[in-house]
Amino acid sequence: MIKVVGLERKTGEFNGVKYDNTLINFTVDTNPDVLGVKVGVTKIKTSLLSKSTGVPVPDLSVLLNREITFDYDFTASPPMLLGVTLIKK
């Protein structure tokens, strides 16, 4: 299970290009090599996170403590994050 434990929005401009990303802090409890839970962070465009979960950008905090899955295109090199699916409770 992947559980969202934190969200950090990063906006700004780099070399004249505006960016708006969200860092998703999460835990994974299904790794047999880790005692307890494994933690991780992944970056996604804020607009893609909102679109793929159906949660408006101002309301993304509702994702905290929710179970998600990451949707990847593994045929891309490197694999590309396509979105996040919110697991229904």
Q: What is the pLDDT of residues 31-42, one digit of tens each?
A: 788 888 899 999
Looking at every residue in the chain, the average pLDDT score rounds to 95
Q: What is the pTM of this model?
A: 0.90
The beta-carbon contacts of 5-8 under 8 Å, at least 24 apart in sequence, are: 5/39, 5/64, 5/65, 6/64, 7/60, 7/61, 7/63, 7/64
Is 7 a residue whose pLDDT tops 80? Answer: yes
pLDDT band at 55; cut points 50, 70, 90: very high
pLDDT band at 74; cut points 50, 70, 90: very high
Give the three-class secondary structure for 78: coil
For the chain, the domains span 2-86
The tokens of 45 are what? Answer: 């465009």
Give the three-class secondary structure for 60: helix
Distance CA 24, CA 5 (A): 8
